[in-house]
Chains A and B, each alone.
Chain A
Amino acid sequence: MSRFYIPQDTTALALGANAVASALRDAGVEPIRNGSRGLFWLEPLLEVETETGRIGFGPVSANDIPAILDALESDPTSHALYQGEVAEIPYLKSQQRLTYARAGLGDPVCLDNYQALNGFKGLKNALQMTGQQIVDQVKDSGLRGRGGAAFPAGIKWQTVLNCDSDQKYIVCNADEGDSGTFADRLVMEADPYQLIEGMIIAGLAVGANQGYIYLRSEYPVAHKLLNIAIERAVAANFLGENIQGSGKTFHLEVRLGAGAYICGEETSLLESLEGKRGMVRAKPPLPAIEGLFGKPTVVNNVLTLAAISSILEQGADTYQNFGMGRSRGTLAIQLAGNIKRGGLIELAFGVTLREVVEDYGQGTYSGRPIRAIQVGGPLGAFLPESQWDTPMDYEAFAAIKAMIGHGGIVVFDDTVDMAAQARFAMEFCVVESCGKCTPCRIGSVRGVEVIDHIVANENRDDNLILLHELCDTMEFGSLCAMGGMTPYPVRSALAHFPQDFFLQDAEGSLSQDAEGSLLQDAEGSLLQDAEGSLLQDAEGSTSLKAASQGEN
C-alpha cells in the first residue's frame, strides 16, 4: 500500500487539509500528517509515495479524493491536479534548502523520522566539543541573527560564554509578528526538533541549562506541535538531565505571548518572559550580560537557532560557502500578499527581488501589475519597480534605506493606496508601541493625524515638512526599532508614490469624506491627552538611540 501524506501545517489546515484527511480515511487510507514543504500555493498538497517516486497533487479538496485514488490505480498523470514528482517541482528544486531540508518529508514530531534524516547529528558533534569550540564554529560560519537585526550570532554567544554566572539562559524569539512572515512558524510546525536541537547546542556552547521558546499566541498549531516535540525529546533523553549520558543538562519550555507585537523586540520579550509588561529596556546592559532575570542570556531568532543544527552537523565551512559579501548562508524568503505562488523560498543571499516575485511568484494573485513591494515586515520600506533589481543582501538593502529584516516580502498590485499604507504604518505603531519612549508613543499618533491632513489637502506643504520632521524625531529619538523604523514605510511611500498623497487635489469634494473617516478611525482619547507634548519630550530623548542601536 502506498503511503499518503497530507500536511498538518497552519496554512494547509486553513485551506482544508483536515477535510482532505477525512476523505482519505473514508476511502480506507490513513494519511501521514507531514509538515508543509512551504509551497503554499499548492496546499493542501497531497503526496503519494509510488514506485516512480513521491508524487504530488495540489491544491486538493476533499471532493477530489475519489478521482485521485482512481487515477492512482490507472494513470496518475491524467489527473488535472497532478504535479509530478514533488522534489522535481521547479519552485522547490531550484532552492538551496538547509534549514528546510526536512520540511514536509514526514511527521514533524516523529523522532525516528528526524534522526533518520540526520537529526541530532549536530548535537552529537557538539557533545564532543568544548563550549569555546562550538562558539568558534558558529563564528566561522558567519551566521548572523535572522530576526532582522543581523547581528553576528557567534559574537553574541562569545559574550555570554565569557560571563561568569551561576545561571545563564537560552531564549528563542518565536514572536514572529511581521506581516508576510511565516518562516519561524514553518520550522516549528514542519521540523520542530531542529529548533530544539539548536537550542540544546546553544546551551552547551555558553553553559546554560534552561531554555525558553517565547511563542506568539497567534500560532496555536506551532504551540501544540512544539509541546509534543519537547515531551518526546525529554522522553528520549535529548532534553533534561544527563543528555545522552554526557552529564550535561538542558531544560526547555514554551512560553506563550499575549498578542503584543513589541514583544518581538528582544528586551521587551525578556520583560514579558519575566511576567511583566513588554516594555523595551534601554541598552546597555546587553541581554548577553544582563538578560532574563538579570542573568546572561542568548536571545536568538528561531531561524538562527535552527541553522545551528546544520552548522554543527555539516561544519562551518559548508554554511559559509553560501551567500554573498558579509551575508553568509541561506535566507528564508517568505513570499506573501497579493502573489500567485506564495511560499517559503530558501536561497543563498544575493537573489534579486524581481527574480523572487516574477520567477517564483509568477506575478500577482489578482493578475494585475505589481505596484509596490514591502520587504521586512511592517517596519520595512515599500519598494517601487526601480528598486526590484536589488540583491537580497543585508548591506545592499541598507544602502537603499530598506531592510531585509526577517525576510518577508509582501506584494501589492496597482490598486494599492500608498497613502493608506503609510497611514497604516503609523496606526500600527499607535496600537503596538510599548509606550516607554515619547517619539514612538506620541509620534505615531501625530503621524496618523498629519498624514490625514496631507491627504485632505490641509496646509499640505507645511504638513509635509512636519511629517518629515516627525519621521526624523521618531527615527533618531526612539528607544527601539518600533518607533525608529516606522518612518521607513512612511518615507518610502512618500518618496516613491507621492501621487497617492495628492489624490484629492483634483476632486475637492473627496476631502470631506476623508475627514469624516479620520475622526472615526483615530484613537480619540490619545490625541487629546498627547496634545502638544511631542516636540517638547522628543527633544530631550534623542540620545537614547545610540544606546539602542548596538545590538538587537
Chain B
Amino acid sequence: MNAKLDISRLVNQFKDLPGALLPLLHAVQAEVGYVPDSAVPVIAKGLNLSRAEVHGVISFYHDFKTRPVGRHSVQICRAEACQSMGSRLLESYAKEALGIDYGETTADGNITLEPVYCLGNCACSPSVRVDERIYARVDQNRFDALITELSVESSTGPEASK
C-alpha cells in the first residue's frame, strides 16, 4: 500500500469541507488503521495548518491512533452504569485473559484492548464493543466467547474480519 499517495487523495477529497480535520482524520484511520506520522505534514500542508496543530488534534482525541493497532478493537465500558454491574471485575478479567493492558495489542496482532466511557447501552450493562458491534450483559463467559469468535475469524482468513 502506498500510504502517502492515499493520504494525498483523502486530503484532496476533504480539504474544502468546513472544519475538515476531524472527518479527514477519521477517513485516514479508516483506510490505514491509524494516523501514521508521515501523514501529518501532508495533512498540515493540505489544510493550511501547522504540523503542531494537526498533531495537537490527533493527540487530543482518544479515537485517533498513531501506531498500528490489532485487527480487532475490543473496548470495555468503564463508566458508572457498567461499574454498577461488575465491569471492574470484567476489566481485570479481560486484561488477564488477553495478557495485555489497555492500549496494548495481543502478540498475534489480533486484538487491541481499550477502555471506553459509555456506549449508551446502560440499561443492560456491562457493555463491550468489538469493532462496530456492541454487546450487552457481558460476563466472563460471554467475553471468552467473543474473543474465541475473533480468534476463529482471524485464523480462517484476515478478510473475514473487515
Name which residue of chain B comes closest to A256, CB basis. B26
Q: Return the chain A residue nearest B119 by Cβ.
A: A218
Contact A378 B80 (CB under 8 A): yes
Q: Does B64 contact A (CB under 8 A)?
A: yes
Q: Which residues of A contact B127 (CB under 8 A)?
A: 14
What CA separation (Å) do A13 and B130 show in the bound complex? Answer: 13
Residues of the A chain whose Cβ atoms lie less than 8 Å from the Cβ of B26: 217, 256, 258
Shortest distance from the beta carbon of A258 to any chain B beta carbon, whole Å: 4
Assuming the contacts A10-B120, A219-B120, A342-B124, asked whether A258 and B137 have C-beta atoms less than 8 A apart, the reply is no
Residues of chain B within 8 A (CB-CB) of A41 are 123-124
Known: A217-B63, A431-B117. A180 touches B19 (CB 8 A): no
Question: Are B121 and A260 in contact, with the CB atoms below 8 A?
Answer: no
Contact of B19 among A179, A255, A412, A421 (CB under 8 A): A255
Binary CB contact string for chain A from 33 to 60 against chain B (1 if under 8 A, 0 otherwise): 0000000110100000000000000000
**Which A-chain residue is minimally distant from B127 (CB atoms)?**
A14
Is the Cβ of B123 less than 8 Å from the Cβ of A177?
A: no
Minimum C-beta distance from A319 to chain B (A): 26
Asked whether, in the complex, the Cβ of B120 is within 8 Å of the Cβ of A185, the reply is yes
Pick the residue among A180, A256, A277 that contacts B57 (CB under 8 A).
A277
Question: How many positions in chain A have a CB within 8 Å of any CB in the partner chain?
Answer: 60
> Which residues B88-147 have CB closer than 8 A to chain A?
88, 116-125, 127, 129, 132-137
Whether A14 contacts B124 by the Cβ 8 Å rule is yes
Option from A15, A413, A432 in Cβ contact (under 8 Å) with B124: A15
A299: min CB distance to chain B, Å = 14
Chain A residue with Cβ nearest B123: A342
Residues of A contacting B: mostly? mixed
Q: Please indicate which of the listed interface residues A41, A275, A413 has the most CB atoms of chain B within 10 Å of its own CB.
A: A275
Using A275-B21, A278-B61 as known contacts, say yes or no to A15 and B122 having CB atoms under 8 A apart: no
- Least Cβ–Cβ distance between A219 and chain B, in angstroms: 6
Residue pair A218, B116 in contact (C-beta under 8 Å): yes
Give the residues in chain A near B124, CB-CB below 8 Å.
11, 14-15, 40-41, 43, 342
Binds B, one of A153-161, A333-341, A449-457, A476-484: A333-341
Decide if B9 is an interface residue (CB 8 Å cutoff): no
What's the minimum C-beta distance from B49 to chain A, rounded to whole angstroms? Answer: 8
How many residue pairs at the A-B interface have CB separations less than 8 Å?
A: 149
Among A270-328, those with CB < 8 Å from B are 272-278, 293
Interface size, chain B (Cβ < 8 Å):
43
User: Smallest CB–CB gap between B29 and chain A, Å?
Assistant: 9
Contact between chains at B56 and A277 (CB < 8 Å): yes
| The residue from A15, A335, A416, A434 contacting B137, defined by CB atoms under 8 A apart | A15
**Chain A residues near B120 (CB-CB < 8 A):** 10, 176, 181-182, 185, 218-219
Docked-complex contact A179 and B79, CB < 8 angstroms: yes
CB–CB A334/B80 < 8 A: no
Pick the contact of A408 from B122, B132, B136 — CB < 8 Å? B122
Nearest-CB residue, chain B, relative to A270: B19
Please give, as numbers and ranges, the residues of chain B lying within 8 Å of A40 by CB-CB distance: 123-124
A225 contacts chain B at the CB level, 8 A cutoff: no
**Chain B residues, Cβ within 8 Å of A349:** none
A424 at the binding interface (Cβ < 8 Å): yes
Residues of A within 8 A of B21 (CB): 275-276
Q: Which single residue of chain A is at the shortest CB-CB distance from B25?
A: A258
In the bound complex, residues from chain B placing their C-beta under 8 Å from that of A431 are 117
B81 CB–A CB distance under 8 Å? yes
Interface hub of B122, B127, B129, B133 (most chain A Cβ within 10 A): B122
Q: Say how far A208's CB is from chain B's closest CB, in angstroms.
A: 14
In the bound assembly, the distance between CA atoms of A410 and B125 in angstroms comes to: 11
User: B23, A181: Cβ atoms under 8 Å?
Assistant: no
Q: Which of A255, A276, A334, A411 contacts B84 (CB 8 A)?
A: A411
Whole-angstrom distance between the Cβ of B39 and the nearest chain A Cβ: 15
Q: List 28 A-B contacts (CB under 8 A).
A: A14-B124, A14-B135, A176-B120, A178-B118, A179-B81, A180-B79, A180-B80, A181-B118, A182-B120, A182-B123, A218-B116, A218-B120, A255-B19, A256-B26, A273-B22, A275-B19, A277-B57, A293-B18, A293-B19, A334-B123, A336-B123, A336-B125, A337-B80, A337-B81, A410-B81, A410-B122, A421-B80, A421-B83
Chain A residues with CB under 8 Å of chain B are 10-11, 13-15, 40-41, 43, 176-182, 185, 217-221, 255-261, 272-278, 293, 334-339, 342-343, 365, 374, 378, 408, 410-413, 416, 420-421, 424, 428, 431-432, 434
Query: Taking beta carbons and an 8 Å cutoff, which residues of B are in contact with A?
Result: 18-23, 25-26, 47, 53, 56-57, 60-64, 79-85, 88, 116-125, 127, 129, 132-137
> 7 more A-B contacts (CB under 8 A) besides A185-B120, A220-B134, A258-B62?
A10-B134, A177-B118, A218-B120, A258-B64, A259-B61, A259-B116, A374-B80
